[in-house]
Structure formats: C-alpha cells, structure tokens
Amino acid sequence: MKILVTGTHLTPAIAVIDQLKKMQPDAKIIYIGRKSTMEGFRGESVESNILPVMEVKYRTITTGRLQRSFSIYTIPSLLKIPIGIIQALYIIISERVDVILSFGGYVATPVVFIGWLFSMPIIVHEQTLVSGLANRISSLFADKIALSFGKGREDGCVINTGNPIRGEILQPVKKLPAEFSTFFKKAKTDKLPVILVMGGNQGSHIINATLEQILSELTKIAYVIHVSGNNQFADFERLEKLRGLRYIVKKWIGKEIGKVLSNADLIVSRAGANTLTELAFLGKPTLTIPLQLFFQNEQMKNAMFFGKVGLVKILPQSKLSGESLLENIKAMIKDLERLTLKAHQAKKVINKDAAQRLALETILLAQRN
C-alpha cells in the first residue's frame, strides 16, 4: 500500500504517520510538502528536515496560494499555481499511490485536485474551528472530511476524529538532552519558572522582536526557552548572540519537545489549533497572541474556544508591545498555581486517540478502493 500525505500542518501529520507505520508496517508513505517556510525566503521548511529522518519519502512542489490582500508576492504566487498542478500530476503518476491524506494548506490543494482527476480516494483533515480556504476547496474533491472539533452526527462523508497529537507529546522521551536538563535543574534551584516562547512551525518575527525588547527584564524573574523558527529576518542568528544562563534559543525543537513542554511552567505562543490542542492535553497555562488577518480570524476563534475551557489568556497582536508582553507574563506568573489547575481542565475537550482514528480511516479508504 502506498499512502500519500500532504499539507502544511505538520504536527498532526507526524502523529498520523507514526500510527500508519504501526498499523500498516509494509505501507510506503510519501509526503508532498514545501521547500521553504514562506514565500520570498529560501530557508528550509521544518518538514523537509524532520520527515526524511522519519524514513518518509519527502517530495516538494512549487505552488502558490490565493491571497486575500495584494502584495509583491500576489502575482508571482498566482503564476506558480499551474506549476504546482503539473508537479503534483507528475508525482502522483510516478508514485501510483492508493490513497491521499491531506492536512490542508496551499501545498495540498493541487495534490488533492489531481488525485480527484484520477479517481483516487481522498481524506481531508480539518484541524481548526474555522475551515481555511485551501481546505474548503480541497473538501469539494474529498471522499471523507475529518473534523477535529465536530459535534455533529457522522454521515459517512463527515467524520469526527479529533485533532491528532504527536507521539512525542503523548509519550515524552524519558531523558532530555544535557542542555535542557541542566537548564531546568538551574531553574528549579533558583526557584524560578520556565517560560517557553514559540510562534508555530515558521516562528513569528513580531513575537521574536518583542521578546528581544524585554529579555533582560524577563530573565530576572524566569528562565526562558525560545523557539524562534527560521525566517528571512535572521531572528535566530541575532538572538543566538543573546544566549545566557537563563535564555536558550532554538530554530525548532525535535523529539524532546514533549518533555520540554511538560517541564515548562508557562507557554507564550500563537493560537494555532494544533499547538493549543497539544497544550490542552498537557494542561499548560498559555498566553496566546493570535495571528491577525488570518482567514475568518481563525486563530482568535481558536484562542476564544480554548480560553473558555481554561487554557489560555489572550493578548491581541494589536496590543502587543514589550510593556504589555512583560506585564501579562508577570501577572500569569503571580497566579501560576491557579492557572495551572484551570489549564488541566482543558484536557476534557481533547481526544488523545485522534491519530489512531484518522490513520484507520485512511487505511480503510485505501482498502475499499
């Protein structure tokens, strides 16, 4: 059996790929993704580094996205769409896959469309409370649509699987690398909280820059682990020079991410559904800064949903500054015990078996075909 996985939402994809390997050990898995993290930047994407290590055949296409505002990338992006369709056509013909599993994003749309033209079974997974534009288009060609937060009745086409959680989160590694282990021990000795700051797979330039403004003040009251991502602003290269006793910066964190999250006391992050799902499972109080101008204000709706179940406090990006960020973090540290108890209640909205359910549905769809 050959299973083609595609999309730009990496964390649920990794979770399901792990389950597919367990359920179907002889299956060959191909992943179609992107070369770089964003348009106009040649830095390697996270998935291009992680998936080959997982022994997944990684292939890329160059395609564009439908943009809701005009920029210098709008026309070049539109011109790339036919290129992506042709490349997807070539890969699908040459690989002869049995089923396509899409995790959304602009990379997935041409793959799903070509798969539909060749009558291949397709399952599309929606991670968020609000379906993105790419997934709305892809869903038109899908045999099954899997929802993360669906409460409606399943009808054969629409199924409620939940949002897959990575194995690194469900079963964290037992031992941390020396750098992290020493860092947490020092924080415990000094009786200071550990704050993990991250901006999603691509990182967030505005969060990185704002954190930089308050770093000297913040490290007086906490130890800080910072996942900067890899971007055209060279944030990591600049921030790495500020490494110190109470500050670590990484482009991204690998298999030890579950253990790092488990040991952290407070999280500062964007409001992506995958991130908040994992933090809810771990019961980690989170200061979230939703990404603005996303389709239908997707991240704000995610944040509001998880805010109601006790996981997050929202700091709108429009109000983000060094002063507001520091003020909010200090307030949460003072109330950390109560916030942690509330955050643990959020676990009730998470289905920890989502990856198994989605992997099983993918295999059954391929076998039915």
CATH numeric code, 169-349: 3.40.50.2000
The string of DSSP codes covering 258-323 is HHHHHH-SEEEE---HHHHHHHHHHT--EEE-PPTT-GGGHHHHHHHHHHHTTSEEE--GGG--HH
Helices (runs of H) and strands (runs of E) counted in the chain: 15, 13
43-56 b/e (C-beta count within 10 Å ≥ 16 → b): bebbbbebbeeeeb
What is the model's pLDDT at position 362?
Answer: 97
Any binding-site annotation on 68? no
Per the CB < 8 A criterion, the answer to whether 23 and 363 are in contact is yes
pLDDT tens-digit series, residues 240-280: 999 999 999 999 998 999 999 999 999 999 999 999 999 99
Q: Name the one residue in this structure whose structure tokens are 């198994």.
A: 356
What is the model's pLDDT at position 39?
Answer: 56
Residues whose CB is less than 8 angstroms from the CB of residue 349 and which lie 6 or more positions away in sequence, other chains included: 149, 280, 309
Q: How many other C-beta atoms are found inside a 10 Å radius of the C-beta of residue 117?
A: 13
Query: What is the overall mean pLDDT for the chain?
Result: 92
Confidence of residue 64 (pLDDT cuts 50, 70, 90): confident
Going by C-alpha positions, the residue among 103, 99, 126, 104 that lies closest to residue 115 is: 99
What is the model's pLDDT at position 203?
Answer: 84
DSSP assigned state of 44: B
Q: Name the one residue in this structure whose structure tokens are 């009808």.
A: 155
Q: How many other C-beta atoms are found inside a 10 Å radius of the C-beta of residue 24?
A: 18
CATH numeric code, 2-164+351-368: 3.40.50.2000
Residues of the chain with CATH 3.40.50.2000: 2-164+351-368, 169-349
Residues whose CB is less than 8 angstroms from the CB of residue 215 and which lie 6 or more positions away in sequence, other chains included: 224, 242, 247
Check whether 300 has a pLDDT greater than 70: yes
More confident residue, 78 or 264: 264
Check whether 293 has a pLDDT greater than 60: yes
Tokens of 52: 């080959």
pLDDT tens-digit series, residues 324-338: 999 999 999 999 999
Going by C-alpha positions, the residue among 229, 176, 216 that lies closest to residue 184 is: 176
Check whether 189 has a pLDDT greater than 80: yes
Going by C-alpha positions, the residue among 85, 213, 193 that lies closest to residue 141 is: 85
Beta bridge partners of 244: 247
Per the CB < 8 A criterion, the answer to whether 22 and 118 are in contact is no
What is the model's pLDDT at position 292?
Answer: 82
Per the CB < 8 A criterion, the answer to whether 156 and 145 are in contact is no
Check whether 153 has a pLDDT greater than 70: no
- Provide the 3-class DSSP secondary structure of residue 211: helix
Rounded CA separation 42/47 (Å): 14
For 296-315, what is the mean pLDDT? 93
Helix axes 298-308, 273-282, angle to 10 degrees: 20
Check whether 16 has a pLDDT greater than 90: yes
Per the CB < 8 A criterion, the answer to whether 92 and 43 are in contact is no
DSSP assigned state of 343: H
Confidence of residue 77 (pLDDT cuts 50, 70, 90): confident
Check whether 42 has a pLDDT greater than 70: no
Any binding-site annotation on 166? yes
Tokens of 85: 């369709």
Going by C-alpha positions, the residue among 361, 351, 360, 356 that lies closest to residue 149 is: 351
